[in-house]
Chain A
Amino acid sequence: MNPDATMRCDVVLALVPTFVDGEVTESVASSVREHLKDCRSCRAAVQEERSLRQWFVPTEEVEVPDGFAARVARRAFAGDEGLAPVAPNTFDPEAGYSEAGVLVPFATAGATAGALAVRDGHGLLAFSRTLVAAAAAAMVAVTLIIASGGHPASQGLGASQDLDEALEALDEENRSLLDDEDPAETPDER
């Protein structure tokens, strides 16, 4: 083995992905090629890199439905702006998910259903879609009412202070009962 002295293996190995991608300059590619002629292990690294790329095969061309462009243009000019982006989750590590944050998916689902429902359509189909849209709107409204209604968040459903105190009292009682038993008995023997 007599690797090209102008380029060390570690340099070549660092360049392998970009080299295989054809994203290095021709002069660098030329130096790498020279190195590969004499360096079996770097060649193996290149082959390994190529092997992985064999998993990405071009698939058959996809069919575009007839009249797609005209349909989209009509909708665009009719004011359809597409679906609104999904709101990111509102997570506060201190407080957990807020009520509104928890309810966002429901509101989004309602809004999405509504938006889908009012997209184009005629006759009976349009009528049913309007009904769905109305139901979706109602769903959004209910969601918002619940969100603003001050219902307890998850932390409100946790153990109350009263319960904590009751448990402590029970522990204390247990401890006094155990103290009344044989004092020579160690906890391990129990």
Chain B
Amino acid sequence: MLPPMGALIHMTSLDSLDDADLVRTTREGDAHAFEVLVERYQRRLFGLVRHYTKSAVEVEDIVQDTFLKAYSRLETFQSSSAFYTWLYRIAVNTILDFMKRQGRSPVQAVEDPEVVGRTGTGASDATTERLSIRPDARLEREEIAEITRDVMDELPDIFRTVLVMRELEQMTYQDIADVLEISIGTVESRLFRARARFKQKLLQKHPEFAASQDESSSCARSGRPRSGRSDDRSTRAQQPRDRGTDWEVQA
């Protein structure tokens, strides 16, 4: 059903408002302002949620639930923070709740990654680290995505969430830290362990993609300083990452 012309004109004028103003107008009882907010972020949330479920109906339900919760908690939103970060946090919690409801949430990590840190990844991790694993060139994009999803389905939520945010949503460490309300150092260490776990599961399920590390190593790989992640802000980029950096060098 199309909205009446007056509403359309009103919504067009609302379109130019920033998030904070739309939130304020929504709080004042303007449903169209909230509709504009939903329109502004619905695509991104649909994109996020489909990393967790293949069902279009479930994706829609979860996104809808996210917005409904956001509206009901709008009073708690602090205008000083980014609306999307706040909304994204609600979305992540809604997704995890949904997975629990469906009994599809894998077991939680038995170890606390923040306590264990980068050391103590276990023998299997040490083995997988020496293996390079990349998608077969013959695989279609969708096939790769399917394999990745299967592996991700088996990861504990804590790891899956950071992988989705970083690798699929391409969020910066800072954005991830803001959404999850953790430090950047924790994001870094969690990502490290999530990738190790992903690789381990991938190798378990698809050993055919493993390629031995054929490069001779002058560095003691086993002595890789995992604690090197640290919170040393001096090494960390202040700007959002640039995936296209020219770090590649000629072999």
Contacts and interface: CB of A to CB of B under 8 A. Distances in A.
A58 interface: yes
A17 B134 contact: no
Nearest to A70: B35
Contact of B235 (A3, A13, A25, A39): A25
A75 B68 contact: yes
Contacts of A39: 218-219
The 10 closest A-B pairs by CB, nearest first: A14-B228, A22-B241, A82-B68, A56-B167, A9-B219, A76-B71, A44-B215, A51-B134, A73-B35, A69-B38
Report which residue of B71, B94, B202 has the largest number of chain A beta carbons within 10 angstroms of its beta carbon: B71
A48 B213 contact: yes
Contact of B236 (A3, A25, A85): A25
A28 B234 CA distance: 9
Given A36-B247, A41-B215, A64 B46 contact: yes
Contacts of B71: 76-77, 81
Interface string A55-86: 11111011111011111111111001111011
Contacts of B66: 82
A77 B225 contact: no
Interface in A10-24: 10-11, 13-15, 17-24
Interface residues of A, number: 67
Interface stretch (B80-88, B139-147, B153-161): B139-147
A52 interface: yes
A23 B188 CA distance: 10
A72 B62 CA distance: 12
A108 interface: yes
A112 interface: yes
A155 interface: no
A81 B172 contact: no
B221 interface: yes
Interface string B31-50: 11011101100110011001
Given A48-B132, A81-B69, A55 B42 contact: no
Interface of A: 1, 3, 9-11, 13-15, 17-26, 28-29, 32-33, 36-37, 39-48, 51-59, 61-65, 67-77, 80-83, 85-86, 108, 112
B119 interface: no
Interface in B168-224: 168, 172-173, 188, 191-192, 195, 198-199, 202, 213, 215-221, 223-224
Interface string B11-53: 0000000000000000000011011101100110011001000
Nearest to B118: A14
B148 A14 contact: no
A22 B188 contact: no
A23 B218 contact: no
A76 B34 contact: yes
Interface of B: 1, 3, 31-32, 34-36, 38-39, 42-43, 46-47, 50, 59-60, 63-69, 71-72, 93-94, 97, 100-101, 132-135, 141-142, 144-145, 147-148, 151, 163, 166-168, 172-173, 188, 191-192, 195, 198-199, 202, 213, 215-221, 223-229, 234-238, 241-243, 245-247, 249-251
Given A55-B148, A74-B31, A22 B47 contact: no
Given A18-B188, A23-B236, A65-B60, A70 B219 contact: no
B90 to A, nearest CB: 9
A23 B189 CA distance: 13
A70 B215 contact: no
Report which residue of B34, B94, B235, B251 has the largest number of chain A beta carbons within 10 angstroms of its beta carbon: B235
A149 B132 CA distance: 59
Contact of A41 (B1, B173, B217, B229): B217
